[in-house]
Amino acid sequence: MPTDPFVSPGLDDRPRQQQNLPAGMAYPPARAWRGGRPGELGAEQPHGSLFGDPGPNVGYAYTLAERAKSRFRLGAHEHAHDVVAVVAEIAGRRAATVGRAPVVRDVDLALELLGYDGSADASWVEQRTRLVHEAAHAYARRRALVDSVPTELLRMQPGSLGAAVEPWRTEVASLVDPSS
């Protein structure tokens, strides 16, 4: 930005560097910084209900889930936008457990885990329909479902879940609200 020619630059206007200090003066050493303000986190991320799983670029899982929408095998009363939300959150959690961004294999595992790849029997589809209903709009409901997935299942490879998923499906059925 141009300077007005009628304003003379003085020492106070120059950058405060060592050459601008009087002879014999020096800048004091920097003080130690300690976090103590409200909202500052320590070295550990907080854990618990509704916190999710932080990881690099986990939001990209939503893009991947949207791209996989044509592969969804939905039940009679399921909506794709609810399924996208749940599949993306599970894929993002899987990626975050190993500290990387989501990839297509994370979405593939989420589809297999929930049976959206066509491998689900009729009783699971009925329970899954109630579990996923309105999940795109109900964060607490979506988090409860995603957080219920054991880490051991998340670390498995897509296509190798087989019978290992059945105990989780039986357990997660208790999350289904009978009044819904």
d(CA 80, CA 69): 7
Question: Does residue 120 have a pLDDT over 60?
Answer: yes
Question: Does residue 156 have a pLDDT over 80?
Answer: yes
d(CA 133, CA 82): 7
Q: What is the pTM of this model?
A: 0.73
Per-residue pLDDT, 149: 92
* Residue scoring higher pLDDT (93 or 47): 93
Question: Does residue 104 have a pLDDT over 90?
Answer: yes
* Residue scoring higher pLDDT (175 or 24): 24
Per-residue pLDDT, 178: 47
What six digits make up the tokens of 37?
């303000």
Count Cβ neighbours within 10 Å for each residue of 78-107 and write b for 16 or more, e otherwise: bbbebbbbbbbbbbbbbbbeeeebbeeebb
Question: Does residue 66 have a pLDDT over 60?
Answer: yes
Question: Does residue 177 have a pLDDT over 60?
Answer: no
Contact 116, 87 (CB under 8 A): yes
Question: Does residue 29 have a pLDDT over 90?
Answer: no
Amino acid letter, residue 152: E
